[in-house]
Amino acid sequence: LNAWVADTPTWNDTTTINGEEVFRRAPSFAGINLGGWDKLRGYSSDRFYGRSAVSYSLEYRMMPKWQPLEDLPIIGPMYDIPWWQWTLFMDAGRVADDFDFQELHQDMKTSFGGGIRFRVEGVTVRTEVASGAEETFFRVFVNQPF
């Protein structure tokens, strides 16, 4: 289980540039956002951006006792693959322009998916498929912490 809440209290702060009031908001890549490989995995990176956000993830991981990878004709003799892991997950979250828990918990976006993780020669390889309302992603990560 994972939960994440974020807020930018200075979201509406402004500064005067050339006689005009301009918001001093963080750019989307540095601000509060959802979407991508760690939050709302069924959406593109930084798909949702705003002042505040809430995100929840439920992930189930299983390490099967059955390990056929080391018996494969080419891969098995060449590489040390001590374990593999299957995962199923669901993510839910929302961004909003106000830090209001009631608003943040209405019309939340969701995504779901599954993956396989391997330990190969001391390096973790993570693959997963995640689907949201707009599109589906296949991602591969090397040396991720989980």
Show the DSSP H helices in 13-113 as ranges: 75-78, 101-104
Provide the percentage of residues in the chain whose pLDDT is more than 70.
99
**8-63, pLDDT tens digit by residue?**
888 888 888 999 988 888 777 778 999 998 899 999 999 999 999 999 999 999 99
**93-138, pLDDT tens digit by residue?**
999 989 999 999 999 999 999 999 988 888 999 999 999 999 999 9
Q: In this predicted structure, what is the pLDDT of residue 146?
A: 56
**76-95, pLDDT tens digit by residue?**
778 888 888 999 999 999 99
